[in-house]
Amino acid sequence: MAMCMHIPSTTINHKTFLNPLTPTTKPHFSSPHKTHLSKHNIVQFNHVHQKGTLKIKVFEKLNDKELDPVQILENDGDWSSGLFWAVVGFLNQTSRSKCVIKVFDRWISKDGSRVSEFNYERIIRLLVEEGLVGYAVMALKDMKDIHGI
């Protein structure tokens, strides 16, 4: 005896899957990361804005030639590498290159990782270009004697 299964007859065609009269809804995926990224971007923007404000304030202070750049660094707490080198360029352009070595010494003393051949080479090159060979020699001696680079 053969067993039969009764399957209802259904006509399936392309219209069954894609009916133009039926509004389609796009799936909505909510990602918890999207909100997190938005908050992160806002925080990052605020951080960039604060850094920009700090840079402006530092240069406003540096415009006053009566203020000591080392004291400005002390009052600010610390400067990022980018801000430090911008300050060095500013001091150089405003004929205050003799202040550069003092600021450099104080800046590297705040973070031991800044004591590097790269930073010393860069500062020595700048001092030599400005004709401050004596200061460049002092920096070279510090690099060799004090830091062993």
Give the residue extent of every domain in the chain.
67-147
- Quote the percentage of the chain above a pLDDT of 90: 42
Question: 118 CB contacts (<8 Å, ≥6 apart)?
Answer: none
Pick the range with the lowest mean pLDDT from 41-50, 89-98, 104-113, 126-135: 41-50
Taken in order 146, 91, 79, 72, is the CA torsion positive or negative?
positive
pLDDT tens, residue by residue, 119-133: 999 999 999 999 999
Residue 52, pLDDT > 90, answer no
Residues 46, 47, 48: CA angle, nearest 5 degrees: 90
pLDDT computed for residue 142 by the predictor: 86
**What average pLDDT does range 41-62 have in this prediction?**
63
Give 56's pLDDT tier (boundaries 50, 70, 90): confident
